[in-house]
């Protein structure tokens, strides 16, 4: 899409904070007609700027012991296609939660989520390392998530303010 | 110790009650109506409060860290009485850039313990007993008691919802007498959210000039205006020397608990204020001054984000109140809406108390803010969108019940 307007940015900022915020409320907050908000959201969805409305889950609370690892991967880029095709080959695996092309000492950062240590280890040795262009991998297991996508996982601090003040 | 002989020859000493030791001026001052309401609210659970007169943001982390850093470096000593020179410089730059008023950091600025101390210092420096102090109301609760404590006579000037609670030349003129000396202004206004534009100010400035008044302009909410930029009274033609500009970091930078403010004005007035300041508090807390310096140096963007967020929430409450049948003028500053509850037939006190008891929503009855406040309710929208929506929902049901019973 050709450029995002200031208005669309404001809509996005509110939805990023609370994906369930109603268009009517957004319209009030930004002082525009509700139709304008609906149109903006529709356009942003259509253009894949809004990719998905998902829920951020603190899985550790569910005693569902998922294992997450960050893997630094060095690869040989392909002539003419750079890193993109190899990246695709990696991100199509459902175990891959995120994939970034990095500057610096390695090329791709892969985030893997699995049910157990073994499952993640098996992914790295059987799937990732066997890709021809992959030169090396370094796997780091995540021990605790403090903050994800801008959201702090610790219990929310309550409002410390006095209930009534001048 | 009195010896026996003299005791026998004198009239027996009448023992005082403890209260008799008190200065009658202090004894006769009524405690703030907000305090009474606070006690009431504190006894309840699951209250949604629109009664809070401070930002719902925590001081930005980089500002807090600057204070921690100052402690780590052992900056725990007094600063100069008027405040750290680099902070006074930063304040002057900020006022110049943001509100086009120019002050000399050496002679025209004093850093105080909150805007509150600055108001106290200004009034104590300027009042000769018997002077009349003009105070547009409804207004922040401290002006009149401090005036009384300083020997002044406070003269309230009522402002009205129909004028968006602006001070009009007409009502100011009516209140001026030969004894009038000071006009205290607080725009953007706590509790009404009213503001004054350049055009609104001009006739006021004219009257100030004609009647040779001094103005104490409490501009603590200067950053919080929506749709139109704040006009400092000191920036008006000829008004700089007649104005003691009071402000602080609490509202714009979410720094209420730091207690840091400042006053700017004519060197003679600032020097007088500095005298009282040095004998009473010496200087504002050093770590808070470092934090304030950081806020002015690197915090302006964060401040703008907070203001945008207040503006969004302002629209929620104003529209919300109108939808549930409470008349509400459009507040263009601060973070308060001041809807009228007259259509319910209740007084402010009754409404606030029953709203608390029957709907578990706290807001401050307007009458505590002086003339013109009765019939209104001060609702702070410095709280989460979820809280605002829930509060309006509860208030809507409460108002509906009142009007249909």
What integer pLDDT is reported at residue A80 of this predicted model? 81
Q: CA nearest B258: which of B284, B222, B283, B277?
A: B284
| B14 class by beta-carbon count within 10 Å (0-12 exposed, 13-18 middle, 19+ buried) | exposed
Instruction: Please write the tens of the pLDDT for every residue from B217-233.
Output: 999 999 999 999 999 99
Instruction: Please write the tens of the pLDDT for every residue from B98-115.
Output: 999 999 999 999 999 999
Instruction: Please write the tens of the pLDDT for every residue from B338-357.
Output: 999 999 999 999 999 999 99
Q: What is the CATH number of domain B31-58+301-403?
A: 3.90.1150.10
Residue A30 · residue A7 · CB < 8 Å = yes
CATH 3.40.640.10 residue window(s) in chain B: 61-298
Using DSSP, state whether B141 is helix, strand or coil.
coil
Q: What percent of chain B has pLDDT over 90?
A: 89
B93 to chain A, any CB pair closer than 8 A? The answer is no
Using DSSP, state whether A60 is helix, strand or coil.
helix
Domains of chain A: 6-46 (1.10.10), 66-144 (3.30.70.920)
Residue A147 has pLDDT above 70, yes or no: yes
Residue B402 · residue B362 · CB < 8 Å = no
A149 to chain B, any CB pair closer than 8 A? The answer is no
Determine whether domain B61-298 maps to CATH 3.40.640.10.
yes
Using DSSP, state whether B194 is helix, strand or coil.
coil
Cα of A104 to nearest chain B Cα, Å: 28
ipTM of the complex: 0.82
pLDDT along chain B (405 residues), means of 10: 56 87 91 85 92 94 96 97 98 98 98 98 98 98 96 97 97 98 98 98 98 98 96 98 98 96 98 98 98 96 92 97 96 97 96 96 96 97 96 97 90
Q: How many residues does chain B have?
A: 405
Segment (H or E) for B255: none
Taking CB atoms and an 8 Å limit, are B385 and A18 in contact across chains?
yes
Segment (H or E) for B252: none
Token pair recorded at residue B19: 């209260």
Instruction: Please write the tens of the pLDDT for every residue from B191-217.
Output: 999 999 999 999 999 999 999 999 999
Q: What percent of chain B has pLDDT over 70?
A: 98
Residue A73 · residue A134 · CB < 8 Å = yes
Q: Tell me the whole-structure pTM to 2 decimals.
A: 0.90
CATH 3.90.1150.10 residue window(s) in chain B: 31-58+301-403
Residues of A in contact with B54 (CB under 8 A): 161, 165
Instruction: Please write the tens of the pLDDT for every residue from A42-87.
Output: 999 999 999 999 998 888 888 777 899 999 999 998 888 889 999 9
Report, as an integer, the average pLDDT of A21-31: 96
Confidence of residue A154 (pLDDT cuts 50, 70, 90): confident
A162 to chain B, any CB pair closer than 8 A? The answer is yes
| Peptide bond connecting B268 to the previous residue in cis, omega within 30 degrees of 0 | no
Dmax over CA atoms of chain A, in Å, equals 68
| Peptide bond connecting B50 to the previous residue in cis, omega within 30 degrees of 0 | no
**Closest chain A CA to residue B386:** A21
């Amino acid at each position: 899409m050709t450029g995002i307007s200031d208005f669309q940015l404001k809509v996005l900022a509110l939805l990023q904070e609370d994906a369930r915020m109603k268009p009517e409320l957004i319209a009030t907050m930004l002082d525009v007609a509700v139709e304008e908000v609906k149109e903006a959201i529709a356009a942003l969805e259509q253009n894949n700027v809004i990719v998905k409305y998902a829920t951020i889950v603190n899985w550790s609370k569910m005693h569902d012991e998922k294992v997450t690892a960050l893997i630094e991967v060095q690869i040989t880029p392909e002539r003419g296609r750079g890193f993109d095709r190899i990246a695709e080959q990696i991100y199509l695996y459902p175990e891959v939660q995120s994939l970034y092309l990095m500057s610096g000492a390695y090329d791709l950062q892969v985030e893997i989520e699995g049910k157990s240590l073994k499952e993640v280890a098996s992914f790295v040795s059987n799937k990732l390392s066997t890709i021809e262009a992959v030169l090396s991998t370094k796997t780091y297991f995540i021990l605790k998530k403090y903050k994800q996508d801008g959201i702090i996982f610790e219990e929310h601090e309550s409002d410390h303010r006095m209930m009534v003040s001048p | 110790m009195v010896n026996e002989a003299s005791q026998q020859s004198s009239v027996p000493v009448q023992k005082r009650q403890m209260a008799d030791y008190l200065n009658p001026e202090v004894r006769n001052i009524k405690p703030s109506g907000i305090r009474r309401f606070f006690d009431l609210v504190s006894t309840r659970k699951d209250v949604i409060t629109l009664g809070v007169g401070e930002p719902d943001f925590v001081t930005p982390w980089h500002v807090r860290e600057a204070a921690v850093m100052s402690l780590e470096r052992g900056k725990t000593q007094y600063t100069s009485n008027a405040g750290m020179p680099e902070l006074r410089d930063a304040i002057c730059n900020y006022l110049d850039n943001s509100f086009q008023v120019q002050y000399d950091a050496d002679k025209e600025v004093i850093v105080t313990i909150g805007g509150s101390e600055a108001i106290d210092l200004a009034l104590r420096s300027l009042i000769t007993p018997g002077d009349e102090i003009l105070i547009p109301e409804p207004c922040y609760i401290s002006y009149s008691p401090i005036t009384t404590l300083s020997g002044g006579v406070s003269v309230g000037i009522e402002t009205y919802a129909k004028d968006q609670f602006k001070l009009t030349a007409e009502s100011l003129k009516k209140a001026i007498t030969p004894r009038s000396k000071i006009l205290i202004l607080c725009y953007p206004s706590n509790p009404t959210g009213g503001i004054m534009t350049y055009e609104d100010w001009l006739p006021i400035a004219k009257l100030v000039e004609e009647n040779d008044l001094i103005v104490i302009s409490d501009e603590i909410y200067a950053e919080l205006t929506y749709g139109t930029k704040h006009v400092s009274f000191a920036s008006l033609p000829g008004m700089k020397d007649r104005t003691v500009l009071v402000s602080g970091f609490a509202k714009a930078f979410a720094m209420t608990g730091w207690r840091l403010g400042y006053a700017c004005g004519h060197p003679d007035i600032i020097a007088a204020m500095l005298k009282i300041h040095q004998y009473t508090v010496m200087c504002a807390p050093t770590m808070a001054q470092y934090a304030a310096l950081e806020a002015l140096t690197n915090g302006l963007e964060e401040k703008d984000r907070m203001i945008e967020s207040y503006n969004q929430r302002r629209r929620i409450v104003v529209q919300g109140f109108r939808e549930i049948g409470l008349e509400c003028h459009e507040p263009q500053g601060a973070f308060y809406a001041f809807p009228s509850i007259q259509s319910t037939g209740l007084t402010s006190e009754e409404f606030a108390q029953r709203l608390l008891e029957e709907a578990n929503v706290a807001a401050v009855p307007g009458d505590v803010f002086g003339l013109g406040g009765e019939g209104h309710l001060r609702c702070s929208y410095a709280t989460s969108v979820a809280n605002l929506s829930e509060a309006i929902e509860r208030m809507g049901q409460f108002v509906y019940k009142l009007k249909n019973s």
